[in-house]
């Protein structure tokens, strides 16, 4: 009896056809992303630059007065840019340690039963729409912040009370929002560290915690940096949640000031803006776009350097 | 056979890996570009809603042909745009051209015959009326000042309101209320409510807001939930979650506004040279439409009070 033969290639007749079709489909898919990035880049450049030239690059980027509807309009977005930088940096500063620690807990420390509770929770966190974070911020964070504000600035003649809509609220919401990204990617990185690294370290007499901090985390460095890059991208690009909690007034980014981010600057005024005002909003979009590109390029090159070192 | 099975498994594994890698790439690009496209989406969204409103009221066309030119107030842009869209839908033979250059320029245009209708977001001056311009009030724009429900202050004078919004008065104590800081809430620049509010109080770009929210609903929610806050909204959204203040001892009711005793309001005038009855058929049809029930609904839909 002839044994049946199985082949992943199937019949010879259709082989070349299928191969060819698959190749074409994959190529189209690949170029779709390229096309999207290229067309968005071109669109942002063409719609963002006219206002830059009309108002003046320095006036837009380094002006601190945002009065787009005044008789003599002024389009300075310095405070908006600073807010985005400071806000994102603080969110990373808070979110990344918590995220990395959580991933260490999940990958190294947690007993199976506990990990089974924490991991789905983290995954659910990633699935919650950003507007829900914003609503929770309004309902829970803002009142708490307002109480704090009332205590700290009691009787202050110069402080403008914001009702709790301030930079801290926005930063806390952002920190919470980047957690799932950071946790999931760092956990994968930690898990991919070979078991014999840990065994070697433990055999040399290191404690479990020493092993984690001196062996496992350094070995998973490139994965953790990826997590930070994606977290930064999420934080700087978030609009909906923080537009609800940050107060949206253009101010210098101090903790208890109501602030406006690059994203919320576009969202909040786009609906009624017209003429030059609208063009400037596109310019803000361009600035945001350049920011995200820069973060990606810089951090990716850092990442590559780190990875090269690890390979040696 | 076992070997073959392994082969199949390996191939499947490879496929999954490739898919994963592809999906990974896709994700990162969409994330970075989402912010960029959002802006475009928002604009698309607004135009869509206006056209949707236009189609619902569309009816059979009358036999009118020609064009109507409308020049004037930027504050009336929302009303004029909505009106011209719906009107053109109803009378496909007529084109309505609306320009928004300011009330004064609008009246000037209708005076020297450059436009059929001059839009003004204020009452006409006597010298304008003396040139034969007729004041046709088509709608009234009213703004209510609201605070959180627990606020004890009932009434504000015009000067007190100005002092709150330009940052001179910072505590409710100075206004007879509790010893509580005032949280000044307003709308984003570009908002019609904001420009009307600042114009009526002569506070153009002098307001010191602690919150600039981008919708009436957001202002209502924020005011309702923040003790010591004050905000302004258009009349049609008032409800029990906030406390509506009297201004100069007058409630912001449509009756008071029509009587002119509530100062935070202004008429929207569509001025014509001579009475409406002396205008051409197109303009007459436009005014007939505004004064019809359908027109009144349109006026209400952009947050205004119909004139009569």
pLDDT in tens, chain B (308 residues): 444 555 555 555 454 444 444 444 444 433 444 444 444 444 444 444 444 444 434 444 556 788 899 988 877 888 888 899 999 988 888 899 888 877 888 888 898 888 999 988 888 888 888 888 998 989 888 899 999 999 999 999 999 999 999 989 989 999 988 888 999 999 888 777 888 899 889 988 888 899 988 888 888 988 998 899 999 988 877 888 999 999 999 998 888 888 888 989 888 889 998 888 888 888 988 899 988 988 888 888 887 888 76
Residues of A in contact with B170 (CB under 8 A): 157, 160-161
Interatomic CA distance for residues A250 and A259, integer angstroms: 5
Is residue A241 domain-resident?
Answer: yes
List residues bridging with B233 in a β-sheet.
B144
Contact A107, A184 (CB under 8 A): no
pLDDT score recorded for residue B22: 45
Cβ atoms of residues B225 and A143 within 8 Å: yes
Q: Confidence class of residue A24 from pLDDT cuts 50, 70 and 90?
A: very high
Token pair 């490139």 is found at A222
Domain assignment present for A260? yes
**Which chain B residue is nearest to residue A44, measuring alpha carbons?**
B36
User: What CATH number does the domain containing A295 carry?
Assistant: 1.10.3720.10
Neighbour-count burial for B37-73, b at 16+ CB within 10 Å, e otherwise = bbbbebeeeeeeeeeebbeebeeeeeebeeebbbbbb
- The residues facing B273 across adjacent strands are B133
Output the pLDDT for position B8. Answer: 55
Local confidence band at A311 (pLDDT 50, 70, 90 cut-offs) = low
Lowest-confidence region among A161-165, A277-281, B71-75:
B71-75
**To 5 degrees, how large is the angle CA A236–CA A242–CA A244?**
160
Interval A236-252: pLDDT, tens: 989 888 988 988 889 89
**Is A22 part of a structural domain of the chain?**
no
Pair B209, B120: CB distance under 8 Å: no
Is A33 a member of any domain?
A: no
**Other Cβ atoms within 10 Å of B3 Cβ, number:** 8
Contact B278, B63 (CB under 8 A): no
Phi, psi at B212, each rounded to 5°: -115, 100
Q: Evaluate whether A216 touches A135 at the Cβ level (below 8 Å).
A: no
Query: B64-140+267-306 and B142-265 share one CATH topology?
Result: yes
Q: Domain B142-265 classified CATH 3.30.420.240?
A: no
Q: What is the CB neighbour count within 10 angstroms for residue B187?
A: 28
- Residue A88 has a pLDDT of 94
Q: Does pTM top 0.95 for this prediction? A: no
Question: Of A4, A5, A233, which has the smallest distance from its Cβ to B31's Cβ?
Answer: A233
> Does position A276 have pLDDT exceeding 80, yes or no?
yes
DSSP per-residue letters across chain A: -PPP---TT--HHHHHHHHHHHHHHHHHHHHHHHHHHHHHHHHHHHHHHHHHHHH-HHHHHH---EETTSSS-EE--HHHHHHHHHHHHHHHHHHHHHHHHHHHIIIII--HHHHHHHHHHHHHHHHS-HHHHHHHIIIIIHHHHHHHHHHHTTT-SSPPP-TT-SHHHHHHHHHHHHHHHHHHHHHHHHHTS-HHHHHHHHHTT--HHHHIIIIIHHHTHHHHHHHHHHHHHHHHH--HHHHHHSB-------TTS-B--HHHHHHHHHTT--HHHHHHHHHHHHHHHHHHHHHHHHHHHHHHHHHHHHH-
User: Could you tell me if A280 and A51 are in contact, meaning their C-beta atoms sit under 8 angstroms apart?
Assistant: yes
Across the interface, whether the CB atoms of A270 and B42 are under 8 A apart is answered yes
Range of the domain at A92: 57-311
Three-class DSSP category at B212? strand
Of B29, B36, B210, nearest to A161 by CB-CB distance is B210
Task: Return the top range by mean pLDDT from A5-19, A84-98, B270-284.
Answer: A84-98
| 3-state SS assignment for residue B103 | helix
- Weakest-pLDDT range from A109-113, A114-118, A307-311: A307-311
CA distance A166 to A83: 11
* CB–CB contact A161 B170 (8 Å): yes
Helix (H, G, I), strand (E, B) or coil at B281: helix
In terms of Cα–Cα distance, which of B256, B220, B218, B259 is closest to B238? B220
pLDDT of residue B242: 92
Q: Nearest C-alpha of chain A: how many angstroms from B216? A: 12
Of B11, B26, B40, the CB nearest to A33: B26
Measure Cα distances from A233 to A92, A110, A302, B124, B200 in Å: 10, 29, 16, 54, 43
Whether residue A256 contacts residue A168, with contact meaning beta carbons closer than 8 Å, is answered with yes
pLDDT of residue A219: 92
**DSSP structure string for A163-224:** TT-SHHHHHHHHHHHHHHHHHHHHHHHHHTS-HHHHHHHHHTT--HHHHIIIIIHHHTHHHH
Q: Report how far residue A50's alpha carbon sits from residue A286's, in angstroms, rounded to the nearest whole number.
A: 11
Question: Which residues on A lie below 8 Å from B220 (Cβ)?
Answer: none
Mean pLDDT computed over A103-108: 93
Distance from CA of A101 to the nearest CA of B (A): 24
Query: What confidence score (pLDDT) does residue B49 get?
Result: 42
Above pLDDT 90, what percent of chain A?
Answer: 51
Q: Chain B contact for A279, CB < 8 A?
A: no
Q: Does some domain include residue A44? A: no
A237 touches chain B (CB under 8 A): yes
If one counts the domains in chain A, the total is 1
With respect to residue A27, please indicate whether it lies within any of the assigned structural domains: no
Mean of pLDDT over chain A: 88
B173 at A interface, C-beta within 8 A: no
Position A273 scores a pLDDT of 75
Is pLDDT larger for residue A157 or for residue A276?
A: A276
Confidence band for A77, pLDDT divided at 50, 70 and 90: very high
| Predicted local distance difference test score (pLDDT) of residue A308 | 66
- What six digits make up the tokens of A135? 């609503």
* Cα distance between residue A44 and residue B247, in whole Å: 46
User: Does residue A299 register a pLDDT over 80?
Assistant: no
Best CA proximity match to A262, nearest among A135, A132, A88, A145: A88
The pair phi, psi for residue A276, each rounded to 5°, is -60, -40
Q: A54-68, A84-98, B97-111, B218-232 — which one is most confidently predicted on average? A: A84-98
Is pLDDT at A119 greater than 80 in this prediction? Answer: yes
CA A133 centroid distance within chain? 15
Break chain B into its structural domains and give their ranges.
Answer: 64-140+267-306, 142-265
Sign of CA dihedral A273, A275, A278, A280: negative
- Using pLDDT thresholds of 50, 70 and 90, give the confidence band for residue A14: low
Alpha-carbon distance of B112 to B105, in angstroms, equals: 11
The count of CB pairs under 8 A between chains A and B is 152
Among the partner residues A234, A249, A267, nearest to B211 by beta-carbon distance: A249
Nearest to A242 by CA among A83, A92, A64: A83
- Name the minimum distance, in Å, from the CA of A37 to any CA of chain B: 7
CATH number of B64-140+267-306: 3.40.190.10
pLDDT of residue B65: 83
């Amino acid at each position: 009896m002839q044994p049946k033969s199985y082949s992943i290639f199937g019949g010879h007749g259709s082989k070349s056809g299928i191969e060819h079709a698959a190749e074409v489909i994959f190529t189209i898919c690949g170029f779709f992303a390229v096309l999207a990035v290229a067309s968005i880049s071109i669109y942002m450049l063409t719609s963002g630059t006219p206002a830059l030239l009309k108002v003046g690059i320095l006036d837009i980027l380094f002006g601190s007065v945002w009065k787009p509807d005044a008789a003599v309009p002024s389009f300075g977005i310095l405070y908006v840019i600073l807010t985005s930088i400071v806000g994102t940096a603080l969110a990373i500063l808070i979110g990344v340690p918590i995220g990395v620690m959580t991933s260490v807990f999940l990958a190294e420390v947690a007993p199976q039963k506990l990990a089974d509770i924490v991991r789905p929770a983290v995954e659910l966190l990633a699935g919650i729409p950003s507007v829900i974070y914003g609503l929770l911020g309004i309902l829970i964070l803002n009142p708490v912040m307002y109480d704090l504000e009332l205590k700290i600035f009691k009787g202050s003649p110069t402080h403008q009370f914001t009702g709790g809509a301030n930079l801290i609220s926005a930063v806390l919401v952002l920190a919470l929002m980047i957690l799932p990204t950071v946790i999931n990617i760092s956990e994968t990185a930690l898990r991919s560290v070979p078991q014999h690294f840990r065994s070697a370290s433990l055999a040399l007499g290191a404690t479990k915690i020493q092993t984690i901090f001196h062996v496992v985390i350094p070995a998973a460095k490139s994965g953790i940096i990826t997590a930070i890059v994606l977290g930064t991208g999420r934080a700087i690009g978030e609009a909906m949640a923080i537009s609800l909690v940050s107060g949206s007034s253009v101010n210098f980014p101090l903790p208890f000031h109501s602030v406006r981010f690059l994203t919320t600057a576009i969202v909040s005024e786009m609906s009624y803006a017209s003429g030059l005002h609208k063009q400037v909003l596109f310019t803000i979009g361009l600035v945001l776009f350049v920011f995200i590109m820069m973060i990606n390029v810089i951090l990716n090159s850092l990442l590559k350097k780190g990875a090269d070192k690890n390979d040696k | 056979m076992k070997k073959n099975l392994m082969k199949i498994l390996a191939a499947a594994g490879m496929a999954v890996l490739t898919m994963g890698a592809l999906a990974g790439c896709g994700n990162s690009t969409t994330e970075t570009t989402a912010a960029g496209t959002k802006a475009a989406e928002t604009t698309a969204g607004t135009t869509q809603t206006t056209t949707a409103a236009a189609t619902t009221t569309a009816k059979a066309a009358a036999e009118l042909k020609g064009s109507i030119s409308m020049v004037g107030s930027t504050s009336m842009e929302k009303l004029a745009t909505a009106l011209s869209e719906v009107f053109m839908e109803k009378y496909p033979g007529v084109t309505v051209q609306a320009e928004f250059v300011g009330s004064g320029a609008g009246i000037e245009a209708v005076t020297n015959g450059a436009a059929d209708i001059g839009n003004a977001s204020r009452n006409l001056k006597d010298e304008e009326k003396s040139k034969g311009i007729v004041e046709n009030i088509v709608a009234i724009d009213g703004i209510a000042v609201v605070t959180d429900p627990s606020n004890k202050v009932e009434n504000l004078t015009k000067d007190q309101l100005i002092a709150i919004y330009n940052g001179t008065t910072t505590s409710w104590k100075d206004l007879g209320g509790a010893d509580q800081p005032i949280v000044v809430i307003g709308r984003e620049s570009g908002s019609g409510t904001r420009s009307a509010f600042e114009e009526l109080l002569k506070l153009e770009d002098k307001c010191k807001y602690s919150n600039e929210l981008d919708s009436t609903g957001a202002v209502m929610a924020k005011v309702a939930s923040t003790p010591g806050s004050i905000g302004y909204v258009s009349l049609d959204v008032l409800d029990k979650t906030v406390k509506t203040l009297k201004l100069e001892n007058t409630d912001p009711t449509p009756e008071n506004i029509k009587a002119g005793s509530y100062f935070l309001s202004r008429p929207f005038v569509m001025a014509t040279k001579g009475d409406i009855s002396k205008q051409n058929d197109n303009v007459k049809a436009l005014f007939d439409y505004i004064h019809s029930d359908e027109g009144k609904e349109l006026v209400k839909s952009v947050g205004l009070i119909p004139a009569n």
